[in-house]
Amino acid sequence: MAEDNTFDNWVSLFSHRGSYDPLRAGSIDGTDSLAHDRAVIRAMTSRYKPNTLVATDPNRTLFIGRLNPKTTEDTLMKIFSKYGKIKSCRLVRDVVTGISRRYAFIEFCDDKSYDVAFHDANKMMIDSSEIIVEHEYERKLKGWIPRRLGGGIGGKKESGQLRFGGRDRPFRRPIHVFREDSGKFKQRSQDSYSRDDHNMSSSYRKDRKSDSYKKHSSFNRRY
């Protein structure tokens, strides 16, 4: 459940926890207790089985995303081979059109090459596109739900399906806000705190404007 990602028991990445939670993935700090969109609800009710026919080693396989549609396997092999010997490279394509789906999986022959590529290749420019490099989560994270079912990690604001917990969009640490009425600390994320402050400020301005209008109306009625 998402509520165990508290201020004192907090991690920024799913890879540090070893399991995936779609409810947590939809929250900027991983503490939401209610789904905020239908895609999260769909992910929470989905049952996904990883592809057992994949023969690559998940502990040595990297996910390469946000590729240029024109980038080929040969280009990826040439660039990533500088990190070490590559065992396999698979650029995922549409089964009907054959067009690149803009992500690939690269398996290295040893752990050291895998680690170096993971740390050094992220946000590299390939064919004028900034790529992201992640672990292959499908077989490494228990409970993994892919993006097409409402889960996944990362994403862009334009897509309307941001998912947190990956290196591209890690969880933000929750903050504590002291509540004078109860004398207790309440856990809140930085963003929600800012939003609440903005809402309170807006409400205050509206109240001031309303009071001013009432006084002005009262003055006009008297005179």
- Dihedrals phi, psi of 47, to nearest 5 degrees: -120, 115
What pLDDT, on the 0 to 100 scale, is given for residue 197? 42
Q: What is the DSSP letter of 77?
A: H
pLDDT at res. 9: 57
Give domain 56-142's CATH superfamily: RRM (RNA recognition motif) domain (3.30.70.330)
Domain ranges of the chain: 1-48+150-172, 56-142, 175-222
- Write out the two tokens for 62: 């990297």
Q: What is the pTM of this model?
A: 0.69
- 89's tokens: 């490279």
Q: Within 13 Å and on the Cβ side, how many CA atoms surround 61?
A: 18
CB 48 within 8 A of CB 68: no
Whose tokens are 């740390």? That residue is 119
Tokens describing residue 162: 């941001």
Distance CA 6, CA 2 (A): 9
The values of phi and psi at residue 61, to 5°, are: -110, 125
Q: Which two tokens stand for residue 87?
A: 């065992």
- Identify the H or E element spanning 213: helix 190-222
Separation between Cα atoms, residue 79 and residue 88, nearest integer Å:
14
Digitized pLDDT (tens) for each residue of the chain, 223 residues in all: 444 555 555 678 888 778 898 999 888 888 888 888 888 999 999 888 888 788 899 999 999 999 999 999 999 999 999 999 999 999 999 999 999 999 999 999 999 999 999 999 999 999 999 999 999 999 988 899 898 898 888 887 766 788 888 888 888 887 754 445 444 444 444 444 444 444 444 443 444 445 544 444 444 444 4
pLDDT in tens, 134-160: 999 999 888 998 988 988 888 877 667
